Amino acid sequence: MFFYSKKRKEVKENEARLMRINGFEVRYVTIREPKKYGESIIGKNCVINIRSGEFNINCDNKLIFTHLIEDLQCSELMSQEGAILSYVDNITRENVEVMVYYKYHRK
């Protein structure tokens, strides 16, 4: 019974982190490539939108990233200049990390 409440608290905190960055402008979005030990830029000058349970990143009216909120883990960088979005890919079963770097993170 106690373990369930801890898990529920973590889910609420994660959802709150995701909702906090809703509407943020993003300088660029990268995806980590574990086999190459590097990052690839997948978009620049983007906007984060959360609609009907989906986390979306749009660049120039083009959707470059979308994922369900319940399967997405969010952690902010220590500098508060961006966030790491991680999830498990349904096809390859590998952990995927997407980095977003905010344009104006201090308001």
Does 5 score more than 80 pLDDT? no
* pLDDT number for residue 4: 60
Per-residue pLDDT tens digits for 30-41: 998 877 788 899
Nearest to 55 by CA among 104, 14, 9, 27: 14
The whole-chain average pLDDT of the chain stands at: 87
CB 85 within 8 A of CB 68: no
- Determine the average pLDDT of the residues in 79-85: 92
In a domain, 88, yes or no: yes
Q: Which helix (H) or strand (E) holds 8?
A: helix 2-20
b/e burial code for range 71-80 (CB count within 10 A of at least 16 → b): ebebebeeee
Q: Residue 10's domain is classified under what CATH number?
A: 2.30.29
What pTM value is reported for the model?
0.82
Q: Is residue 20 part of a domain?
A: yes
In a domain, 36, yes or no: yes
pLDDT at 27 over 90: yes
